[in-house]
């Protein structure tokens, strides 16, 4: 069977599935209707999905080969983001404040397409396990899936996934050998001053002014306290504090994220932040609290799986359609799978400048060229078949 032609024949179904999911997004661990939709499509292919996993909205499905052998897993994520979609399209989100602005609707669709292809041409040897995972957007759904045995019975030997990427034109893929994404941690700081009247600042400790110095000082952690050859991003994404323009705020809350690639640097970051925040607040007579939460680890792509992807893309899309790129500082809970078994995640191009499909992930106007859907389904299925053939 010619996988690319067979996938192209599925295009109308894939578009319909993706548009349905796009119009009915659900947040992390709330993907009941999405999971039910996936289950119905799998049953329509003659497949049986597992009992609910990962809090009730995750599921797996095993496609058995013609003979026993290793098991390769393919993963898609189900959840949407708390973002109001700004696109004026017939399939726009019908849920206020929730939208598939990271392409998980496409991931789910492409994995369903891969299932349809693999059912038509089951592997000669070995099995393919499909993982439909909830809560990638901050909920660590991958870790919950692992806890519930998603990589067991049968034991998974390797795992592969695609993530749509609007920075690359349709028909192309990119991959990062070795480290692919950053460790993504979170921190919350409260700067505690003493409130007062705006006309009498000397009688108060202005938490807003102190917090401004804290934000500035934290940038020096990146530029002056760490090796410039070790990527690090510190971002304060949210500031809250104060009551009125003529009131000196007694406290200010800062919420931020730390993105790093080096494990040793990541281990030192909490103490570095404590040192800076403590020093700045003490200098102005304020105090503070700081809570640092370890999030997703850095995703490591197994170099041993790269030849399988390279051969798959060359066969299905043509030579020169896969390029190697530096890692992203974004976080991805695929990292939890890759810590347990050899893993590989690649970026699938969905950009189409002629149609204005250029907005980045997590943007209110993000959308994708649906011509990428059959290509992604074919690459997923082709990777699984090639891996099992050579394993």
Coil, strand or helix: which one is 9? Answer: helix
Best CA proximity match to 166, nearest among 327, 21, 322, 357: 357
- Any bridge partners for residue 32, and if so which? none
Q: Which of 77, 85, 136, 370 is catalytic?
A: 136
**Cα–Cα distance between 389 and 186 in angstroms, integer?**
42
Domain co-membership, 13 together with 151: yes
Domain count, the chain: 2
* Encoded tokens for 233: 């991003």
Domain final residue pick, 279, 296, 313:
296
Domain final residue pick, 296, 319, 349:
296
Domain co-membership, 164 together with 30: yes
Give the distance, in angstroms, between the CA of residue 47 and the centroid of all CA atoms in the same chain: 27
**Cα–Cα distance between 127 and 388 in angstroms, integer?**
8
Q: Judge residue 149's burial from the number of C-beta atoms within 10 Å of its C-beta, 0-12 exposed, 13-18 middle, 19 or more buried.
A: exposed
Q: What is the DSSP letter of 90?
A: T
Domain co-membership, 331 together with 276: no
**Cβ(279)–Cβ(255) below 8 Å:** no
Instruction: Strands of the chain (E only): list them.
Output: 59-64, 71-77, 127-133, 156-169, 173-175, 178-179, 183-192, 196-197, 232-241, 247-248, 251-260, 287-296, 300-301, 322-324, 343-351
- CATH number for the domain that contains residue 285: 3.30.70.360
**Cα–Cα distance between 24 and 197 in angstroms, integer?**
49
C-alpha distances in Å from residue 167, one per residue of 111, 189, 272, 361, 366: 21, 34, 34, 9, 11
Domain co-membership, 162 together with 196: no
- CATH number for the domain that contains residue 373: 3.40.630.10
Query: What pLDDT score does 391 carry?
Result: 83
Domain final residue pick, 276, 296, 316:
296
Domain co-membership, 287 together with 313: no
Does the annotation count 136 as an active-site position? yes
Domain co-membership, 311 together with 386: yes
Longest dimension (CA), the chain: 81
Domain co-membership, 103 together with 163: yes
Domain co-membership, 195 together with 110: no
pTM over cut 0.85: yes
Domain co-membership, 214 together with 151: no
Domain co-membership, 19 together with 157: yes
Q: Which of 26, 31, 77, 79 is catalytic?
A: 79
**pLDDT digit of tens for each residue in the chain (391 aa)?**
799 999 999 999 999 999 999 999 999 999 999 999 999 999 999 999 999 999 999 999 999 999 999 999 999 999 999 999 999 999 999 999 999 999 999 999 999 999 999 999 999 999 999 999 999 999 999 999 999 999 999 999 999 999 999 999 999 999 999 999 999 999 999 999 999 999 999 999 999 999 999 999 999 999 999 999 999 999 999 999 999 999 999 999 999 999 999 999 999 999 999 999 999 999 999 999 999 999 999 999 999 999 999 999 999 999 999 999 999 999 999 999 999 999 999 999 999 999 999 999 999 999 999 999 999 999 999 999 999 999 8
Domain co-membership, 265 together with 329: no
Domain holding 253, by residue range, is 183-296
* Encoded tokens for 10: 């599925």
Report the relative pairing of strands 232-241 and 251-260 from DSSP bridges.
antiparallel
Domain co-membership, 153 together with 210: no
Does the annotation count 152 as an active-site position? no
pLDDT 10s digits, 167-182: 999 999 999 999 999 9
Cα distance between the two ends of the chain: 21
């Amino acid at each position: 069977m010619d996988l690319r032609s067979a996938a192209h024949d599925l295009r109308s179904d894939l578009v319909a599935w993706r548009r349905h999911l796009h119009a009915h997004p659900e947040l992390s661990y709330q993907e009941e209707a999405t999971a039910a939709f996936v289950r119905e499509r799998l049953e329509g292919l003659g497949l049986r999905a597992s009992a609910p996993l990962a809090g009730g909205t995750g599921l797996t499905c095993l496609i058995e080969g013609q003979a026993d052998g290793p098991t390769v897993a393919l993963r898609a994520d189900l959840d949407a983001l708390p973002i109001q979609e700004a696109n004026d399209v017939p399939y726009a989100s019908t849920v206020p404040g929730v939208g598939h602005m990271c392409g998980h609707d496409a991931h789910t669709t492409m994995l369903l397409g891969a299932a349809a292809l693999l059912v038509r041409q089951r592997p000669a040897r070995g099995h393919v396990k499909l993982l439909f995972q909830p809560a990638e957007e901050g909920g660590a759904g991958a870790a919950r899936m692992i806890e519930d045995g998603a990589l067991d019975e049968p034991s998974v030997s390797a795992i592969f996934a695609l993530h749509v990427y609007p920075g690359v034109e349709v028909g192309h893929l990119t991959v990062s050998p070795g480290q692919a994404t950053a460790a993504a941690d979170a921190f919350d700081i409260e700067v505690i001053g003493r409130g007062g009247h705006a006309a009498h600042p000397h009688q108060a400790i202005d938490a807003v002014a102190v917090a401004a110095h804290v934000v500035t000082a934290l940038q020096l952690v990146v530029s002056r306290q760490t090796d410039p050859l070790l990527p690090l991003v510190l971002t304060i994404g949210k500031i809250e504090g104060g009551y009125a323009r003529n009131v000196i705020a007694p406290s200010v809350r800062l919420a931020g994220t730390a993105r790093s690639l080096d494990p040793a640097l990541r281990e030192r970051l909490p103490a570095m932040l404590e040192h800076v925040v403590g020093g700045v607040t003490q200098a102005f007579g304020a105090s503070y609290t700081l809570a640092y939460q370890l999030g997703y680890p850095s995703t490591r792509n197994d170099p041993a799986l790269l030849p399988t992807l390279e051969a798959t893309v060359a066969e299905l899309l043509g030579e020169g359609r896969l390029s190697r790129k530096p890692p992203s500082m974004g976080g991805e809970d695929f990292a939890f799978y890759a810590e347990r078994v050899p893993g590989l995640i690649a970026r699938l191009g969905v950009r189409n400048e002629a149609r204005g499909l250029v907005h980045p992930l997590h943007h209110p106007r993000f959308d994708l060229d649906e011509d990428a859907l059959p290509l992604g389904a074919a690459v997923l299925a082709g990777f699984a078949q090639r891996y099992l053939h050579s394993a």
